Amino acid sequence: MRIVAVTACPTGIAHTYMAAESLEVAARAAGHEITVETQGSAGSTPLTAEELAGADVAILAADIGVKGRERFAHLPIVEGPVKRGINDAEGMLAEAQAAVDAQPAVDPAAKLDTSGKVPANPALASVVAPGYKPGPGALLRTWLMTGVSYMIPFVAAGGLLIAISFLIGGASIATQVNGGTFDGHTYKEISDVTDIWGQVGIAGVLYYIGNTAFSMLVPILAGYIAYGMADRQGLVPGIVGGLLAVSIDAGFLGGLVAGLLAGAVVLAINRIPVHKNVRGIMPTVVVPLVSVTVVGILMIAVVGSPIASLMDTITDWLNGLNGTNAWVLGGLLGLMMAFDMGGPINKVAYTFGVASLASGNQDIMGAVIAAGMTPPLALALSTVVRPKLWTTEEREAGKAAWLLGASFITEGAIPFAAADPLRVIPSLMAGSATAGALSMAFGASSPAPHGGVWIIALIGTPGLWLVAILAGTAVSAICVSFAKTVGRAPAATATEAGASTPAASLTTAVHG
Amino acid sequence: MTITTADLVELQLPAGIDRAQATTILAQRLAASGRVTDQEGFLADVRAREEQMATGLDGGIGIPHARSAHVAQASVAFGRSADGVDFGAEDGPATLIFLIAAPDGAGAEHMKILGSLARKLIHAEFKDGLRGAPDAAAAATIINDAVAV
């Protein structure tokens, strides 16, 4: 078997080379051909096109981003932490052999034709280049991207299921399951999940499943941010912190806080010197217990209470705005909708829209829906128009974002916002404010609390409502495309300019 | 350019020490030789690296290391411990400990030498040679010969 391999570790002076040597020794002993690209501090000799084309399998032993991962798109990939390359090269070779055996026989020329396709397991791009010591910003981004990469499948599964349930059952499906009022009809909440099938049908069931997947977005985001920071010990406090972020209505920004907090707490606990006898129970008992307690108390007491009072304050303030210029109110609601996408501020704006419906004002709901649709749409647009600004994984997420945005599932924008909040969120707010203000100025109205374009038949002045959405989408797409080019880490720019591979998107390996 | 000398070798690390103490003992050697300019600063960088992922490896090896602004010259301090020092490897404590110091922003030459040392760590004859080295000078020679390009 002909193997191409990449080894990479955070410092790039020891493990990278040990893993390379270990893989080379083991491969030669077993009679395989191998070429290893050591992405370490001494610079790396890139794999040649011939080596890549002639290879049967790729082995990646790395704890940081593998540079130029898309080069292996045509190969089965065996992947592990760099230590596995050192300690268990034989095991990785055996897996590689199994992967090759599982492949249908094809000639090398045919294999190359597929090299443009997306890897089966597209990992994330990051700014970590070999030999580049990540600064705090790059490190933070790597952690956030770890969380986002695990969250994206939940967004895709949940969001698409909800959108599909609207398509086959009508947008009132959500209200039929959860209870509430939709376009004048009032439904009772179905409390027994097994009754959904009989009462609402398959669409209701799909909606419920999708919603359940969605309920895991923030816990998974928080859990895997902490995992990125502190390895598996971070998972428990991260996930519990994320669940608490949901309970206190802190949204995905609360999830970011919970994840970073959990990772930091675990790292801090592990700094405390402990007696040898206690060391054995540290990872199984002490660290989980202490970290969950600390993160939980911080989330409820320090993060939760201010959020609750903030939501009350903003709700009072919004209610006091009655009589303001309609388009100003629409713009404000737009800003709020895009600020935290499902978090406290978004929730206040959305609840304000639903409450207005009850009091007979349908314009506000129209503006809220328009403003909530533009974030995923704008990001989807940007990934198509300026693909190089986005990672492979983000471009994939962008495809689903079209449908999520059209369905008023603002959460479709969260993966992009969580990975790079400072650039993405203000851009999305600008477009949502535009959409909200225009929708109000046009007097577009919605009698239904959700549904996106699928309730277009119910919308008052639907044509102008769509204009508002398109304008908001364009504004956000332009802003975010611009923001993404500002203040990027020099390493990322250098890599993009210097690499011959498309977009030079680098991948972060998943630890352990 | 040699990456180690007899002064940087400690063949009898005391029993019962932990990885921080072992690293400190070896860092003192590097600081005394002038290869590390700020012992505390360098140790902080090594700790930061160690926290990312323990550097213990199967077969009784510990390789605490860092690229640091407090390193003047690519160097290795070598310590041998009869009892072993826990470096977090799954199969037990490390008996051969290499504290690898790389200068921040060093050229590729320095890094190649350290890379070739790392490659040697895989090979049993290299490790056996160090386990059997009669004195510090012999151990230093084994290490320097191993990375001779």
Query: Which of B:84-123 have CB within 8 Å of A?
Result: 90, 100, 102, 104, 106, 108, 111-112, 114-116, 118-123
Per-domain boundaries in chain A: 2-133, 138-306, 320-511
Rounded-to-integer distance, Cα A145 and Cα A147, Å: 5
Catalytic residues of B: 65
Residue B1 lies in a domain: no
Asked if A176 and A187 touch (Cβ cutoff 8 Å), the reply is yes
Beta-carbon contacts of residue A341 (< 8 Å; ≥ 6 apart): A251, A252, A375, A410, A411, A413, A414, A417, A428
Q: Is A479 a catalytic residue?
A: no
**Which domain CATH number covers B142?**
3.40.930.10
Identity of the residue in A14, A81, A86 whose CB atom sits nearest the CB atom of B100:
A14
Instruction: Quote the tokens at residue A356.
Output: 């207005």
pLDDT in single tens digits along all 512 residues of chain A: 899 999 988 777 788 888 999 999 999 888 899 999 998 776 677 888 888 888 899 999 988 778 877 788 788 888 888 888 988 898 899 888 888 887 654 434 433 433 333 333 333 333 333 334 456 777 788 788 888 888 988 988 998 899 899 889 888 898 999 888 888 888 888 888 899 998 999 999 999 999 999 999 999 999 999 998 888 889 999 999 999 999 998 888 999 999 999 999 999 998 888 777 777 788 788 899 999 999 999 999 999 888 888 888 998 888 888 777 889 999 999 999 999 988 889 989 998 998 888 888 899 999 999 999 999 999 999 999 998 888 888 888 899 999 999 999 999 999 999 989 999 999 999 999 999 999 999 999 999 888 899 899 899 999 999 999 999 999 999 999 999 988 664 434 333 333 333 333 333 333 33
**Cβ contact (<8 Å) for B115 and A16?**
yes
Among the partner-chain residues A15, A41, A271, the one whose CB lies closest to the CB of B111 is A41
In the three-class reduction of DSSP (H, G, I as helix; E, B as strand; rest coil), residue A163 is classed as: helix
Q: Which chain B residues touch A15 with a CB distance below 8 Å? A: 55, 63, 118
Residue B13 covered by a domain: yes
Q: CATH classification of A2-133 is 3.40.50.2300, yes or no? A: yes
Q: Distance of alpha carbon A180 from its chain centroid, rounded?
A: 30
Least CA distance to B64: which residue of chain A?
Answer: A14
Q: How many domains does chain B have?
A: 1
The answer to whether the Cβ–Cβ distance between B122 and A11 falls below 8 Å is no
Identify the DSSP state of A129: -
Rounded CA separation A507/A118 (Å)? 13
Nearest CA in chain A to B58: A87
> Would you say the pTM of this structure is higher than 0.95?
no
Question: DSSP character for A472?
Answer: H
Interface confidence (ipTM) of the complex? 0.86
Q: Is residue B120 part of a domain?
A: yes
* Angle (nearest 5°) at CA A45 between A140 and A3: 95
Chain A within 8 Å of B139 (Cβ-Cβ)?
no
Contact A40, A9 (CB under 8 A): yes
Compute chain A's Rg from CA coordinates.
25
Distances, alpha carbon A184 to alpha carbons A351, A447, A465, in Å:
17, 8, 21
Q: Do the Cβ atoms of B6 and B137 come closer than 8 Å?
A: yes
In which region does residue A129 sit, left (phi positive, over 0), alpha (psi from -120 to 50) or beta (all else)?
A: beta
Amino acid identity for residue A425 in this structure: I
| Phi, psi (degrees; rounded to nearest 5) at A4 | -110, 145
